[in-house]
Structure 1
Amino acid sequence: MTKDSQRMTQSVTRSLANPTIHRSVLDNGIVLITVENPAADIIAGRIFARVGGRWEPREQAGLSHLLSTVLTKGTDRLSSLEIAERVESVGASLGADAAADYFLLSLKTVSADFPEMLQLAGELLRRPSFPEAEVELERRLALQDIRSQQEQPFTIAFDQLRQAMYQNHPYGFSSLGTEATVSGLSRADLQQYHQTYFRPDNLVISLAGRLTPQDAVDLVNQVFGDWQSGTTPLPTLSLPQITPEPISCATPQDTQQSIVMLGYVAPSVQETDYACLKLLNTYLGNGLSSRLFVELREKRGLAYDVSAFYPTRLETSQFVVYMGTAPENTAIAYEGLRTEVERLCTTQLSDRELQAAKNKLLGQYALGKQTNAQLAQVFGWYEILGLGIEFDTEFQEKVTSVTPEFAKQVACRYFTEPYVSLVGPAEKLNIKT
């Protein structure tokens, strides 16, 4: 057994169809997921940190997003230009992103160049310099994005709905933050945030491609093995309770169409009904064959755009249906959306309808795991959310086992009184909810 092998404190291998997924916990607390997939000479990496929108103080909303834009712009020995040249010289890709429940650094390159790119990623994670000029530039760009979104009716409606549903909870804010919060962010804020949360016992590294689990352990130990977390515990996350109180909100705007949006409080990814609601979301609003599209756009001609979405969240989520419609159809659109959602509580889906939704959902799920980048993303994401690599098969089994009777029961649990968000010409927004 090699020295690096001895550094592993836990190792689990699961054969989930093809390819094989291997999970290790390294000596310094890093969780390493290896997806051995020799089909292509590409290795993709995803480095997740347990930090994101949920960890931001309310007055610093947008901090994770700003950090993601600046993290790749300099280290204590490399400039932004030098970093870009190193990535582009080997045709690799490297970038950072922030979500509500995690932070992500992504990289991809041919196998021969992967050690060099992982070394660069490690330097960015461990020793970012946050150059003042880059911080100021990215902050200005973020403010431009925020102002641009404030002119988009859909974004206005969704922000309004999200704020009504979550109030002071971090899920109530856009990942970009607000003009007020982003304007107040500083380089010192980024440094403090980074020093607090970017540490090995708070990371998941997921690698997929032409490498063995031992290769992955060796590579990660070379780059991160000497990184220690110290003795300071991670801050305890304390968030406000989400107490459902459905209300209606309207923003008058002189637009060519009205946005009608309904939101229902829905379970987190860790709750029993999650898989069933994902299936109902597929049935209602996923694609041109979905119930909302066929009934409200194709048959009744009400919608410019109509759909549904149900974000995967570590805490209480939201099930949202929405429509863009002609202003004169605002009231009819509201009734149509609500009727289609509540129909799931009164009319049991047929076996045929349910099976079609299952086929669509599971087919799209399989297509989302075709490339090494997708594999690294999916299995690292499961781990950072605390679901484990077994969730891959568990989710599919739960979807397959949903019956028409159970689907109706779940719908009745959540699709009761909706939050309502409207944007459009003032004279068309006075509807009975």
Structure 2
Amino acid sequence: MLKIRILIVLFIIQIFFLSTSLASEPVRKEVLENGITVLVKEVDENIAAIEVFVKAGVMNESKEKVGISRFLTAVLLRGTSKYNARDRNFKIESIGGVVQGDNNPDYAEYYALTTAKYFDIGLDLVSDLIQNPAFADEEIEKERKDVFLEIEKLQNKPFARLNDLFNATLFQRHPYGRPALGYRETIEKITKEDLINFYKSNYVGKNMVISIVGNINTDSVLQKVKNAFQDIPNTPPPQLNNPEEPKPLLWREDYKVYSSDTAYLFLGYLSPSIQSPDFPAMEVLQLIIGGGMNSRMWINFREKKGLAYDLGSFMSPSIGPGHMVTFIATSPGKVNEARRMILEDIKGIRDGKISNEEIEIMKTFRIGQYYINQETVKSQAFELGLYETLGVGYQYYLNYPDLIQKVTKDDIIKVANAYLTNHVMIILSPRRPNIESFRVK
């Protein structure tokens, strides 16, 4: 097993040196007169990717309109005054491209991916989608029914359901505790006027980042973007509802009955936002705990104990307070042991029981992931735009390998003690878990 891990590390190091040129092309940044931030990067690939980020997520929603940001994105994709959804899809597919949208708690994302030859068509379609929504009554009602179905389907998706339950338990004040899909009762009450008002308030220049990567000419593209998005207003965006989330004074644990032969467990903590200097160290720590086959969870739970069908850990960059989560799918009778092992392992890290070797392995692993992720034009455009949208600037992404490389053992012990103390745990299980009444202090 040691030989396998050494080979994995050597492979990642090789990828690192082979891929350093991917981040070497310069990025040009300009802010248009209407406040839109535009990033352009030329690469020698016969592809062009256009990413448009709009800071319109859960922090822009009121309690009465939970789910409206995601609802709006879906409505925009259903058609504009120029193209209905079918015509748009026919036009983009006729050139082998893609136009699509997605949502995150912090933003809405729209993108076009085409060959460089058809860049203008991709730009026309994605700019039209954002600027000329039809808000057709029939399409709004169709989407409302689709959202209701998605909410119902979540009950049969254990990890998605766990994620919503975990967030609601962890985030007592912050809007991150609300489901992105919304609640049935809030979606029922959202009107066409609500959607239009939310759109007008949030789809403004200073809330937008456009990131373009491809075989393009920067000066020409900047002018085309300026022309294509000239109707976006330069009005002040609303203030984000981004309250500080207090750290739990005690751990919080709960379970829900779930009809399955498998028990699913989420155990996690509040973690730093992307804007915190603690974020890189926390990401390395998260990988050490549950990131891949060299992580402690994989080695101890899968290789040594055979304790889990599936496991891992994750954290995502966010504008507001973050969260680091470990997850396990195991048999109902092993939930207590899994919980105990995770908490004891984290306590050991807080006490300094961590080696420089495992730190270096995970730093190399994360840097390797970074460069491999840049292999596609789409991912480069996404990452550059993402970090600009999150408020740390696209340079943060370009400098990310250096930030990870600088993480030390002392940094990891520090963030472990600062963040990994009072946990939140949610379990889905066919019966009440026999959780022993002890707390690892």
Post-superposition shift, 1:251? Answer: 1.2
Match of 1:37 in 2: 43
Q: Whole-Å Cα distance in 2 between the matches of residues 218 and 364 of structure 1?
A: 34
- Show the 5 A alignment for 1:164-183: 164-183=169-188
Match of 1:152 in 2: 157
The reply to whether residue 163 of structure 1 matches residue 168 of structure 2 is yes
CA 1:429/1:135 → structure 2, altered by over 3 Å: closer, same or farther?
A: farther
Runs of 4+ residues over 6 Å off in structure 1: none
Counterpart code for 1:29: G
Post-superposition shift, 1:430? Answer: 4.2
Q: Whole-Å Cα distance in 1 between the matches of residues 103 and 272 of structure 2?
A: 22
With the length of structure 1 as denominator, give the TM-score of the two structures.
0.91
Match of 1:319 in 2: 324
Match of 1:229 in 2: 233
Which of 396, 399, 404 pairs up with 2:401? 396
Deviation per CA, 1:130-173: give whole Å up to 9, x if none: 22222222221221111111223333332222111112422012
Post-superposition shift, 1:185? Answer: 2.2
Q: Whole-Å Cα distance in 2 between the matches of residues 168 and 292 of structure 1?
A: 31
Gaps of 5+ in 2: 1-20
Which of 17, 20, 28 pairs up with 1:22? 28
Counterpart code for 1:174: P
CA 1:109/1:77 → structure 2, altered by over 3 Å: closer, same or farther?
A: same
Deviation per CA, 1:202-245: give whole Å up to 9, x if none: 21111000112202212112212x32525x53222234441222
Post-superposition shift, 1:311? Answer: 1.7
CA contact (8 A) 1:422 1:429 kept: no
Post-superposition shift, 1:277? Answer: 0.7
Report percent identity of matched pairs.
Answer: 27
The reply to whether residue 407 of structure 1 matches residue 415 of structure 2 is no
Deviation per CA, 1:92-138: give whole Å up to 9, x if none: 10011111111111101111211122112211111111222222222
Which of 380, 383, 393 pairs up with 2:385? 380
- Show the 5 A alignment for 1:179-328: 179-224=184-229, 226-227=230-231, 229=233, 232-245=235-248, 246-328=251-333
Which of 363, 367, 376 pairs up with 1:358? 363
Gaps of 5+ in 1: 1-14
SS in 2 for 1:284: helix
Q: How many residues align?
A: 416
Counterpart code for 2:32: L
Q: Whole-Å Cα distance in 1 between the matches of residues 139 and 189 of structure 2?
A: 16
Counterpart code for 1:392: Y
The reply to whether residue 55 of structure 1 matches residue 55 of structure 2 is no
CA contact (8 A) 1:261 1:323 kept: yes
With the length of structure 2 as denominator, give the TM-score of the two structures.
0.90
Match of 2:137 in 1: 132
CA 1:239/1:218 → structure 2, altered by over 3 Å: closer, same or farther?
A: closer
Q: Whole-Å Cα distance in 1 between the matches of residues 143 and 205 of structure 2?
A: 27
Q: Comparing 343-352 with 55-64, which one deviates more in the overlay?
A: 343-352
Counterpart code for 2:282: L
Counterpart code for 2:318: R
Q: Whole-Å Cα distance in 2 between the matches of residues 134 and 24 of structure 1?
A: 36
Match of 1:12 in 2: none
